[in-house]
Chains A and B, each alone.
Chain A
Amino acid sequence: QQPVQSPQAVILREGEDAVINCSSSKALYSVHWYRQKHGEAPVFLMILLKGGEQKGHEKISASFNEKKQQSSLYLTASQLSYSGTYFCGAQFSGGYNKLIFGAGTRLAVHP
């Protein structure tokens, strides 16, 4: 039931791009993206709703593919501050309100 995130880890140089995927075997209603830096609380990035539009937040954007039951987080022209662990939280269709989080994707951006 836990959504599957890929890749598990990414290493980038500043300015490079990355894509993090969050896939579900169950129908998704919404996907919530968070970033957690070491020793800190997860910070909300954005929500993607089923049937909703692609969202953007500075150079970080995300999409929701209903056919694939997958959300993708796009990080463009990465900055050192993007380093951290990215989690997707899935809300499944069918009236279940709780968020089930993936295991996370660790992103390290180096100069």
Chain B
Amino acid sequence: KAGVTQTPRYLIKTRGQQVTLSCSPISGHRSVSWYQQTPGQGLQFLFEYFSETQRNKGNFPGRFSGRQFSNSRSEMNVSTLELGDSALYLCASSLGLAGVGEETQYFGPGTRLLVL
């Protein structure tokens, strides 16, 4: 079974631009969660989508948004990029809602975003 895939793997943008990241979950998984990872900060939860609906949201500004399509693929958008948005963005998929019971999340390799 193919794992979680993320595209692109690397991105370089300049301040003020916007960016869209894509995540394809494991086949059959309906939940996709997004995380921002920076050195020393661990994994910061952005949001979770399940059946095309945002189910949970972390403490990030409105510049960070996402959506999920009917095939469970998800996109994350960051508008008006800031230098501090440079990070590894990870998505994780699970069969059901993440964190419920013994529901397990499987992570993709991430998209490394550099904002100049």
Give the nearest-CB partner of B92 in chain A: A42
Q: Which residues of A contact B58 (CB under 8 A)?
A: 98
**Size band of the interface chain A makes with B:** 20 to 34
Give the nearest-CB partner of A91 in chain B: B99
CB–CB B43/A42 < 8 A: yes
Interface bits B22-65 vs A (CB < 8 Å: 1, else 0): 00000000000101000011111100100000011010000000
A41 to B109: give the CA distance in the assembly, Å.
5
B81 located at the interface, meaning its Cβ lies under 8 Å from any Cβ of chain A in the complex: no
Size of interface on B: residues with Cβ below 8 Å to A: 28
A103 to B102: give the CA distance in the assembly, Å.
22
Q: Which residues of A contact B110 (CB under 8 A)?
A: 41
Closest CB-CB distance, B98 to chain A, in whole Å? 6
CB–CB A97/B42 < 8 A: no
CB–CB B98/A99 < 8 A: yes
B100 located at the interface, meaning its Cβ lies under 8 Å from any Cβ of chain A in the complex: yes
- Given that A41-B90, A42-B90, A43-B107 are known contacts, is A104 also in contact with B45, CB under 8 Å in the complex? no
Closest CB-CB distance, B56 to chain A, in whole Å? 4
Closest CB-CB distance, A87 to chain B, in whole Å? 6
B108 located at the interface, meaning its Cβ lies under 8 Å from any Cβ of chain A in the complex: yes
A16 to B39: give the CA distance in the assembly, Å.
27
Give the nearest-CB partner of A8 in chain B: B40
- Given that A42-B107, A98-B56 are known contacts, is A103 also in contact with B99, CB under 8 Å in the complex? no
CB–CB A97/B107 < 8 A: no
CB–CB A41/B107 < 8 A: yes
A84 located at the interface, meaning its Cβ lies under 8 Å from any Cβ of chain B in the complex: no
**A→B interface (CB under 8 Å):** 2, 30, 32, 34, 40-44, 47, 49, 87, 89, 91, 96-104
- A/B interface sample: 22 pairs, CB < 8 A: A30-B101, A41-B4, A41-B107, A41-B109, A42-B90, A42-B92, A44-B106, A47-B102, A87-B42, A89-B99, A89-B105, A97-B55, A98-B98, A98-B99, A99-B98, A99-B99, A100-B45, A101-B42, A101-B43, A101-B44, A103-B40, A103-B41
